[in-house]
A and B are shown apart, each in its own frame.
Chain A
């Protein structure tokens, strides 16, 4: 390696090893980005599982309304009391589980895993930094998140249970439900928003300031770009929801009327409030966050897939610059599409037309991204290992989710599809077989870096194939149910409307028996999905101790995180990092290996 006169800004390694911080400061109140990343990942994986279990119980109720929930029914009764009387799910409990499933999956599971978990672990390594720009703020961010999680979890056990107003928490519904669940939800959210704020400031500052010498913008791995844009979305879109949360908290606690209109009736009586508020205001503020939030859910996943595709096709990803510009374009346009969730609120045709247009425009960069990733496969000598299988499955699944979103973007089609199972199917194709598969891919891919051992390939493949089949069996039928008009928040899975006849013609205008019967199939597939996670969970823990030992760069990758010892020590790099080339120099003609790390100087 040619010697360089450029001095890396950080000191070299031998000084790091003397630090001994003791157990608590090394593993619990750590300021090391890798430990914090792992803390985020483990916490959010636990909540991913918890959120999934809530849904399993709900799926049982949907398929077999009014029947005792098997295995856990009695336990729920013992813990939660009357809302699960006889082990049967009451409507209130269904609402609690539904609202908290959505909340947990989005805010406590997928975002913290994708953005904070992977981001913390991988981003500083990939740009050649010794840590995040503000290590202590990083720690504060995790603990604020953790406290938010505790409050959300604790709220299940208060009288009346957790929030019931859906993850969207529309007022007046969410405000007028007479239990305290919503108050806990709001306090929890304020903590989570604080955490994400601290995190996003940290990521942006880190990426701008701490890139190693030679790591120019266009040499950054695509994952770093995705995280960079995601951080901006979080930084600028979350505060309006925080404002809305504060106002709803005021409505709940100090009986203001920010979101409560004049003349509001509650339980058949005019509510004793000042009135004058606007329910639409909540929706605008909520979706101002929640639309960018879907890009927060998907961009890090796309970033992960980009890394894994390049590595396992052994060639550069196709159209790196197009990918980068597309991600940036998404970042900007994401702020002006929010009201496509509100076509049915009567905000007027002109406004609808505007948001319809921007929605169609934002689909262009998304299509470019997907196309680039697909073309990247062309002519590659693909290695079908577990991370690659998940990454490959991501592409068509995300594509399906995206394409089925187009009808929702047109206000006329949305009139029919809004709030049906079609919507559930659409966005779950994006987040479940989409993002979650990408996250699994990321876990399998970076696991060796974090632990020094590989996860078992055979069980990884079992995990993949069964999950892949189950996912599609779960969500594919929901498209049909939605188009038949099945509402997305029905406690009995639509049984009330089964076979309703038109009084004049005598034809079935309600949900026909085939549509209803799909509920059972979906629920069974969801149980299959649960079983499919067992190999993953066992593999995850077993491999920590017994997995195949690997060297520092088991996937023969080019990016900087593989230029460190495994697992990387405090301070990350043992040598000075200088970057000489782009992130994906695979199979360069004339190179000695089929991969050329970013630290490899150009030989003339």
Chain B
């Protein structure tokens, strides 16, 4: 007993079930990300003067990752087209590249994440003193501490920390935002300001560039993590279809081709989301 139209399209709708299913699912995904993008707009419009950080993400890396993801969108179509032409080996290759691209994207993204977890901003009790961004040294902790906060400093009764402020950008940014736009480490062109020692008692707030840092990082991490979950989900499905699931090519090639088409549709959506995410979070 089989459900009809699992493989062949129903004549009056022109769709097989899974294709309709994935379009419906994507419609709901549009609403999910749409709500998050709307939230982004609302939070940003409501942000007080000068509290929305700029230029804290690494644009070259982000651009490269965009490129990686777009390439995978092309290869996934090639994989499907290869099956349509009956060339199973080429399908294997193109699908393999797609999955590798997905992995590369995740690796790059996690390097970016790690960078943020060890990069700090310190606000002072004295409202006249502007906040400082940079890397910190905490006595008793080797290397770059992760996820340090002023609460943890107080709990550990640490009296003072050292901060290596981020270099000033060489070209004064046209944007006159509070705190100024800073170049990211990895392409440091400006001068290194001297290391400063800060007393814990002067600190009002200390936070790494984690979600709790600001609503900007909150929405950045929420959106990119949700997107990353989609990347991983899509990659897992494609990996299954590339590996053990590919057996179906022998028994039911048409159905298998449909599966690739459906996973490809999902993959395009994941890319599309990133194409919106990149300018919104990195450039604007």
Contact = CB atoms under 8 A, between A and B. Distances in A.
B275 to A, nearest CB: 19
Given A243-B39, A250-B218, A130 B1 contact: yes
Contact of B27 (A236, A258, A272, A277): A236
A274 interface: yes
Contact of A281 (B3, B5, B43, B48): B43
Interface string A274-285: 101110010001
Nearest to A278: B46
A238 B46 contact: no
Contact of A10 (B4, B48, B51): B4
Interface stretch (A112-120, A203-211, A347-355): A203-211
B213 interface: yes
A277 B43 CA distance: 6
Contacts of B280: none
B3 A239 contact: no
Contacts of B221: 250, 254
Contact of B1 (A137, A204, A246, A570): A570
Interface string B18-29: 101100110111
Contacts of A293: none
B2 A11 contact: yes
Contact of B43 (A236, A243, A258): A258
A235 B32 contact: no
A473 interface: no
Interface string A156-199: 00000000000000000000000000000000000000000100
Interface string A128-144: 01111111010000000
B13 interface: yes
A321 interface: no
A307 interface: no
B15 interface: yes
A131 B32 contact: no
Contact of A239 (B13, B29, B212, B213): B29
B174 interface: no
B215 A256 contact: yes
A603 B213 CA distance: 75
Nearest to B51: A276
Contacts of A285: 35, 39
B226 interface: yes
Contacts of B151: 272
B200 interface: no
Contacts of B35: 239-240, 242-244, 285, 288
Interface in A257-280: 257-258, 262, 272-274, 276-278
Nearest to B47: A276
Contacts of B110: none
B84 interface: no
A208 B21 CA distance: 10
A236 B222 contact: no
14 contacts: A10-B2, A11-B1, A131-B1, A134-B17, A209-B10, A235-B27, A238-B28, A240-B32, A258-B215, A274-B212, A274-B214, A274-B218, A276-B47, A281-B42
